[in-house]
Amino acid sequence: MKRLPTTLADGRQLIYFDERDDAVRDTTDRRDLPPPPPASQLRYDALVDEWVAIAAHRQTRTHLPPSDECPLCPSRGDRLTEIPSSEYDVVVFENRFPSFSDRPVELPPDIVARPAEGRCEVVCFTSDHNASFASLPPSRVRTVLEAQIDRTVELSALPGVEQVFCFENRGVEIGVTLHHPHGQIYAYPFVTPRTRSMLAAAGDRCVYADMLAAERATGTRVVAANEHWTAFVPVAARWPFEVHIAPHRQVPDLPALDDAERDAFGPLYLDVLRRFDGLFGTPMPYISAWHQAPVRVGRDVSYLHLQIFSIRRAANKLKYLAGSESAMGVFINDVVPEEAAEMLRSLEGVAPGA
């Protein structure tokens, strides 16, 4: 894989990750861009001991543009985008409208607040605007994975970064603002609430390892598996259709995966995504989220895994986070996890692009 970093017109970093060592990319951004926005604020919620990012500049970010105005497509002719080259394999660049950054910000003096230091990056999976992650070949999944590993290593080394989160939002039902196949990477200046809860529940042992061993032993909720990974519906799934994909070896984060594990991930992940799309014969809205160990704490009891879930609970029904979920944090799932696993297990992965 060839790695080629460059700088965009406003100073943001962009990195090409190419599958051919002889790939040639245009690194000159010919746009006239304003300076990046100031950092967001982090305001402290003492009631629940959590930080909330206030990012008012994100109100002006690009929202569902037509395909001929997509900022994630390659630049061609006079159509200049975030990617200067006329073609690419995988590209990572700093988000133009970040929730976290290293830029200065003015803070109100009368509350507990601090700059939302960190970093937000965009990962473009392909230059094909009409593709989806499920339509990619396993070789491209490996390239995406290597890009996420590269960024996890670099972002973890930034001052003040405590956790790195790689994810994809897919579908307008989820809330995406750009249709082009892409994901994101957040480098947080704190350990996230979800991870803090998992670490508190783990104590001095790895609870996830015990859970995975039980799922593999019973097989009731296993959807698919290979030599290195198992995909299963968690016993207490919060979402109508939720699958975890976990390596059989306990590792804290993506960089800790060996070559065999990296190669084996793509085929299984694509199989699960195609099963999702095959459930109701329509593209499934989903969130795909890598749970990695924090940079400095809890690494010995953390267990890398990918969580994929959808808010679609039936062909024409969505699961909304209403009163109980949104106000009290108590999830009520309309689909029995064992039934969800059987529905997914009964499907063969549908053809790419279906």
β-bridge pairing 2-7 and 41-45: unpaired
Are 246 and 229 contacting, i.e. CB atoms less than 8 angstroms apart?
yes
Are 5 and 84 contacting, i.e. CB atoms less than 8 angstroms apart?
no
Listed in sequence order, the residues at least 6 apart from 202 whose beta carbon sits closer than 8 Å to its beta carbon are: 208, 298, 301, 302
Work out the number of other CB atoms within 10 angstroms of the CB of residue 278: 20
Work out the number of other CB atoms within 10 angstroms of the CB of residue 331: 13
Q: Identify the pLDDT of residue 348.
A: 72
Q: Is 182 a catalytic residue?
A: yes
pTM to 2 decimals?
Answer: 0.96
| Rounded average pLDDT over 41-69 | 95
Sequence-distant contacts of 52-60: CB under 8 A, at least 24 apart:
53/99, 53/100, 53/116, 54/116, 55/97, 55/98, 55/99, 55/116, 57/97, 58/97, 58/99, 60/97
195-345 sits in which CATH class? alpha beta
| Candidates 180, 182, 228, 244; catalytic one | 182
- Whether 331 shows a pLDDT value over 90: the answer reads yes
To the nearest whole percent, how much of the chain has pLDDT over 90? 97
Question: CA 128 to CA 198: how far, in whole Å?
Answer: 37
pLDDT tier for residue 209 given thresholds of 50, 70 and 90: very high
* pLDDT tens sequence across 267-282: 999 999 999 999 999 9
In terms of average pLDDT, the best of 58-62, 293-297, 347-351 is 293-297
CATH number of 2-190: 3.30.428.10
Q: What share of the chain is helix, strand, coil (3-state, %, to 5)?
A: 25, 25, 50
Sequence ranges of the domains in the chain: 2-190, 195-345
Q: Identify the pLDDT of residue 58.
A: 94
- Provide the 8-state DSSP code for 79: B
Q: Identify the pLDDT of residue 351.
A: 39
Question: CA 150 to CA 185: how far, in whole Å?
Answer: 11
| Rounded average pLDDT over 250-268 | 98
Whether the domain at 2-190 and the domain at 195-345 fall into the same CATH topology: yes
* pLDDT tens sequence across 96-155: 999 999 999 999 999 999 999 999 999 999 999 999 999 999 999 999 999 999 999 999
- Whether 205 shows a pLDDT value over 50: the answer reads yes
Are 265 and 140 contacting, i.e. CB atoms less than 8 angstroms apart?
no
- Whether 305 shows a pLDDT value over 70: the answer reads yes
